[in-house]
């Protein structure tokens, strides 16, 4: 499906991927209600969160965004433990920006920095440059989809060609270490970016290799299986599709303690984020058959806000073992809460 950017009809063909229906339903805040990019109409009706959890979610999101803003450097980017600079945390500001007519300052700075890097980026020849390409392409495309083109600096006249070229680079990008499925989130980013960006019709994203690779991982993580389930949903049709999706759902029920009765178990915000995307897109009948709790949205939100509550208002609400892990956990937690609290 293709629609046009509302600010300048006919200039930016925006594809509507189902790969990230929940991030956040801010794509009623991310694309506006008429353009459901990442957050189109949920296939599962969203049960309202209890008022107490919703209020805590609002506080946790605000604290999380403030934490991320303090870590953003003067260029608009964030620095990871290995020194690589990333634009990915910008996604935590999409829902906050969506209630306004213009991007919030953190999102605007990150999107402009990402566009500059895309315009001068060579063909990626290392895992690091491949990660940068994935993140920057998706940040720029989502910001254009939400806010049109007005935020783009006037000295960037070739931005449409830049995005088309980025899509082609993503199409040709191959990472040897991805062959074992261990870098599923990065592969997911690339495929989502390809679905959204303009480019030649023959350079289409192929979701099949992603779920096939993850099937051969000896010890997959929850997020890997959830991403594989999304990939299976996105790939074609056939009689084997519902049983395959059901198998992914049942694996998650067996391996995610939050879907069972172990509410005290530690669960990563990244795992919850990708599970939520999968559950939101999967047929409701399969969720019921697999034993996914009907209140999974409430459980996920409750876990995220209880972790934030335990940390108090000082410091990071969802700390990790390293600064980079803390940064990314915050991005996933804020993005998911923004969707669940809608």
List the single range of 63-77, 167-181, 294-308 with lowest mean pLDDT.
167-181
Q: Is 250 exposed, middle or buried (0-12, 13-18, 19+ CB in 10 A)?
A: middle
Q: How far is CA 116 from CA 65, 135, 320, in A?
A: 24, 13, 30
| Mean pLDDT computed over 33-58 | 58
Q: What pLDDT, on the 0 to 100 scale, is given for residue 44?
A: 36
E strand residue ranges, the chain: 2-4, 13-15, 78-79, 85-86
Q: With pLDDT > 70 as the criterion, what percentage of the chain qualifies? A: 76
User: Does residue 26 have a pLDDT over 90?
Assistant: no
User: Is 41's pLDDT higher than 70?
Assistant: no
Q: Under DSSP, is residue 15 helix (H, G, I), strand (E, B) or coil?
A: strand
Average pLDDT of span 303-322: 82
Q: How confident is the model at residue 146 (pLDDT cuts 50, 70, 90)?
A: confident
Distance of CA 54 to the CA centre of its chain: 21
For 127, counting Cβ atoms within 10 Å of its Cβ (0-12 exposed, 13-18 middle, 19+ buried), the class is middle
Across 28-47, average pLDDT: 34
Kindly report which listed range (33-42, 146-155, 210-219) carries the lowest average pLDDT score. 33-42
Higher pLDDT, 101 or 74: 74
Cα 86 to the center of its chain, rounded Å: 14
Q: How far apart are CA 301 and CA 308, in angstroms?
A: 11
Name the range with the highest mean pLDDT among 44-53, 85-94, 182-191, 265-274: 85-94
At 67 the pLDDT is: 94
H-helix or E-strand spanning residue 225: helix 222-234
Is pLDDT above 90 for 107? Answer: yes
Identify the pLDDT of residue 178: 45
Check residue 191 and give its pLDDT: 83
The secondary structure of residue 25, as a DSSP letter, is T
Tens digits of residue pLDDT in 118-143: 988 655 545 557 888 889 998 998 88
C-alpha distances in Å from residue 154, one per residue of 136, 159, 160, 166, 224: 19, 10, 13, 20, 41
Distance, C-alpha 233 to centroid of its chain: 16
Given a cut of 70, whether residue 280 has pLDDT beyond it is: yes
Half-sphere exposure at residue 41, Cβ-oriented, CA atoms within 13 angstroms: 2
Percent of residues, the chain, with pLDDT higher than 90:
32
pLDDT of residue 315: 64
The more confidently predicted of residues 78 and 314 is 78
Phi-psi region of 106 (alpha: psi -120 to 50; beta: other; left: phi over 0): alpha
Residue 12, pLDDT above cutoff 70: no
The count of C-alpha atoms lying within 13 angstroms of the C-alpha of 12, restricted to the half-sphere facing its C-beta, is: 25
Phi, psi dihedrals of residue 193, rounded to the nearest 5°:
-60, -40
| 325 pLDDT higher than 60 | yes
| CA 327/CA 334 separation, integer angstroms | 11
Are 232 and 241 in contact by the 8 Å Cβ rule? The answer is yes
Residues in the chain, overall count: 342
* pLDDT at site 264: 57
pLDDT, tens only, 245-264: 999 999 999 998 888 766 55
Instruction: Return mean pLDDT, the chain.
Output: 77
Ranking 19-23, 147-151, 170-174, 277-281 by mean pLDDT, the lowest is 19-23
CB contact at 8 A, 298 and 304: no
Beta strands 2-4; 78-79: pairing state:
unpaired
Q: pLDDT digits over 164-223, tens only?
A: 888 888 887 754 444 444 578 888 888 888 887 887 777 778 888 888 888 878 788 899
What is the average pLDDT across 267-294? Answer: 91
**Which backbone phi and psi does 150 adopt, to 5 degrees?**
-65, -30
| Choice among 63-77, 91-105, 171-185, 202-216 with the minimum mean pLDDT | 171-185
């Amino acid at each position: 499906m293709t629609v046009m950017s509302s600010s300048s009809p006919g200039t930016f063909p925006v594809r509507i991927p189902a790969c990230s229906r929940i991030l956040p339903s801010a794509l009623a805040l991310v694309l506006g209600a008429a353009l459901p990019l990442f957050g189109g109409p949920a296939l599962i009706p969203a049960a309202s969160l209890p008022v107490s959890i919703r209020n805590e979610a609002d506080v946790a999101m605000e604290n999380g965004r403030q934490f991320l803003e303090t870590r953003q450097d003067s260029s608009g980017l964030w620095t990871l433990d290995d020194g690589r600079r990333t634009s990915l945390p910008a996604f935590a500001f999409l829902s906050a920006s969506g209630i306004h007519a213009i991007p919030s300052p953190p999102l605007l700075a990150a999107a402009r920095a990402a566009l500059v890097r895309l315009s001068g980026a060579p063909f990626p020849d290392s895992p690091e440059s491949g990660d940068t390409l994935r993140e920057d392409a998706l940040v720029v495309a989502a910001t254009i989809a939400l806010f049109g083109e007005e935020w783009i600096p006037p000295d960037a006249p070739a931005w449409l060609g830049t995005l088309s070229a980025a899509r082609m680079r993503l199409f040709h990008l191959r990472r040897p270490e991805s062959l074992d499925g261990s870098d599923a989130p990065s592969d997911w980013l690339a495929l989502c970016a390809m679905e959204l960006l303009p480019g030649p019709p023959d350079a289409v994203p192929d979701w099949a290799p992603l779920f096939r690779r993850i099937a051969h991982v000896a010890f997959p993580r929850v997020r890997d299986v959830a991403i594989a389930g999304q990939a299976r949903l996105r790939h074609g049709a056939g009689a084997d599709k519902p049983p395959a999706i059901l198998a992914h759902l049942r694996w998650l029920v067996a391996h995610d303690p939050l879907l069972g009765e172990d509410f005290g178990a530690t669960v990563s915000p990244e795992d919850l984020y990708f599970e939520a995307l999968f559950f939101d897109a999967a047929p409701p009948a399969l969720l019921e058959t697999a034993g996914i709790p009907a209140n999974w949205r409430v459980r996920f939100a409750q876990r995220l806000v209880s972790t934030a509550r335990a940390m108090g208002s000082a410091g990071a609400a969802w700390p990790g073992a390293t600064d980079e892990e803390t940064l990314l956990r915050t991005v996933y937690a804020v993005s998911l809460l923004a969707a669940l609290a809608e």
